[in-house]
Structure 1
């Protein structure tokens, strides 16, 4: 129940694995009277790394905005999965297909109620790929690894579905799990090079699966429990380099929240197009104290 001075917030575990883990994401119906500073404050009060603010419209094309405690994001993959699971749960139906507006882009999203949660897929769009132009050694040093730690049969790549991030392949699972980046240096380096963050991954022998960690201190997220858009970027990279069409990426183990993201890639006239998916569990809603439009309170 919510009082007159509260915002109804639903916590959705996005990208769960076998009904467990996932990234806790706050989702709520947006209030047009809120300032962006108020939205950031709601994220802090909800105790999650991200929040999705959903503004519905009569044409079944919801506008979704994503915030961390530090600011607004152009897009958010696991936030989209959380938002669409929230909408399906709210509508009390078993399946929907909608168009979502986020960051100046409108794209298709589907949600289906399954026995083990809500399965969500969305069109990430085209992903641009390029080799790192400079600064790789400094980024690796900030991550706490060297070129000797990287996979011999893969190369770092800058991938962008709208916001660039660095994909870093490592050689062994112990290397991946033991990483303790210098977050201050990493944030400064990513800001200097224009990266959202670094997605460090280990491929399975078949390259059909991977384990990964996402570090994004430049946007106030030291380590993301799960990063769905970066999984889509990895799918695009593997399609370009190895002709692979899909991947399942495990994340969240170091946070104690095992998670999975799926992604498929195809060639289109515009470039490599990607779809991203994951399972989600909707928890019960709760009230978060409402802040004033100026961000005080």
Structure 2
């Protein structure tokens, strides 16, 4: 069987860059094993599989080249942008069913915004803190003053770590085996390492994402990590705005600049209730997969 898989770049910066994801429609015809085979053959960090849902507009499943994951930001944006371009979305307010529950997805023209949960923060113990530094080849002196590295979860867990000099962030040579080991121990997707300088106008931070546990050494846009970073910037670093623009992908070996817009919902107690991370998707290619 031959399958045509559209490749959609999500969180594009202007009309270029972004993070590509495969999008497979009518995925109810495939078994979980076949979905994994397709994702492995496509070879991108994530491929999204779209099926009918009894509880939402669509059911979405996400597979990396090695395993299924609960959520994926850029593959969600890619999917809903593609469905809008194909005329398959009836309303601007939509929804997705995942293995971890229901999420709202709002459309604004060609841009899609996906809902994430309010943040959960967890400090690293001293051993894990030192392992995180060692895995990145940095010292505590390289960190942003007052920015304690933390585990942050808005649906998936990431270690969020701030580096004061963007040149240090750009020049990182991670020890992926150590990152994978700590990710297994803490049940992380990976590390989201950021800096507040060296970014374009109107951007609040620049970040790099490392997730070797899921077969992703680095990717160019990560909506499910940009959400935790926006929460961290507000609640841990005191940046009190409700909207953040996160730049990613500029410092990869093969740059693919991306921008993720994050909007926080603030409750009466001044705490973050939930958030929406969004951007645009652009059709890049079509890959043929043989099952």
TM-score, with normalisation over the residues of structure 2? 0.89
Q: Does the aligned pair in 2 maintain the 1:235–1:274 contact within 8 Å?
A: no
Aligned-partner Cα distance in 2 for 1:18–1:192: 38
Per the TM alignment, residue 92 of structure 1 is displaced from its structure 2 partner at its CA by 6.2
Residue 100 of structure 1: which of 81, 96, 109 is its match?
Answer: 96
Equivalence for 1:196: 189
Aligned pairs (5 A) from 1:134-283:
134=126, 135-204=128-197, 209-241=204-236, 242=238, 243-253=240-250, 254=252, 255-268=254-267, 272=272, 273-283=274-284
Matched residue SS, 2:11:
strand
Matched residue SS, 1:122:
strand
Q: Does the aligned pair in 1 maintain the 2:35–2:63 contact within 8 Å?
A: yes
Per the TM alignment, residue 78 of structure 1 is displaced from its structure 2 partner at its CA by 0.9
Per the TM alignment, residue 178 of structure 1 is displaced from its structure 2 partner at its CA by 0.4
Aligned-partner Cα distance in 2 for 1:80–1:189: 27
Aligned pairs (5 A) from 1:276-291:
276-289=277-290, 291=291
> Within the alignment, does 1:130 sit opposite 2:122 as a pair?
yes
Q: Does the aligned pair in 2 maintain the 1:122–1:275 contact within 8 Å?
A: yes
Q: Does the aligned pair in 1 maintain the 2:165–2:197 contact within 8 Å?
A: no
Aligned-partner Cα distance in 2 for 1:95–1:180: 45
Q: Does the aligned pair in 2 maintain the 1:13–1:281 contact within 8 Å?
A: yes
Deviations 1:169-222 (Å, cap 9, x if unpaired)? 001111011011011121012212222211000014999611100001111111
> Within the alignment, does 1:109 sit opposite 2:138 as a pair?
no
Residue 42 of structure 1: which of 14, 35, 38 is its match?
Answer: 38
TM-score, with normalisation over the residues of structure 1? 0.87
Per the TM alignment, residue 165 of structure 1 is displaced from its structure 2 partner at its CA by 1.1
Q: Does the aligned pair in 1 maintain the 2:155–2:224 contact within 8 Å?
A: no
Aligned-partner Cα distance in 1 for 2:83–2:89: 9
After the TM superposition, which of the residue ranges 104-113 and 265-274 deviates more from structure 2?
265-274
- Runs (4 or more) in structure 1 with deviation over 6 Å come to 92-95
Per the TM alignment, residue 287 of structure 1 is displaced from its structure 2 partner at its CA by 2.9
Aligned-partner Cα distance in 1 for 2:52–2:86: 12
Equivalence for 1:119: 111
* Alpha-carbon RMSD: 2.3
Aligned-partner Cα distance in 2 for 1:121–1:24: 17
Per the TM alignment, residue 267 of structure 1 is displaced from its structure 2 partner at its CA by 2.6
Cα gap change, 1:199/1:7 in structure 2, threshold over 3 Å: closer, same or farther?
same
> Which segments of 5 or more consecutive residues in structure 2 lack a partner in the other structure?
none
Aligned-partner Cα distance in 2 for 1:148–1:159: 22
Per the TM alignment, residue 21 of structure 1 is displaced from its structure 2 partner at its CA by 0.5
> Which segments of 5 or more consecutive residues in structure 1 lack a partner in the other structure?
292-297
Cα gap change, 1:191/1:93 in structure 2, threshold over 3 Å: closer, same or farther?
closer
Per the TM alignment, residue 9 of structure 1 is displaced from its structure 2 partner at its CA by 0.9
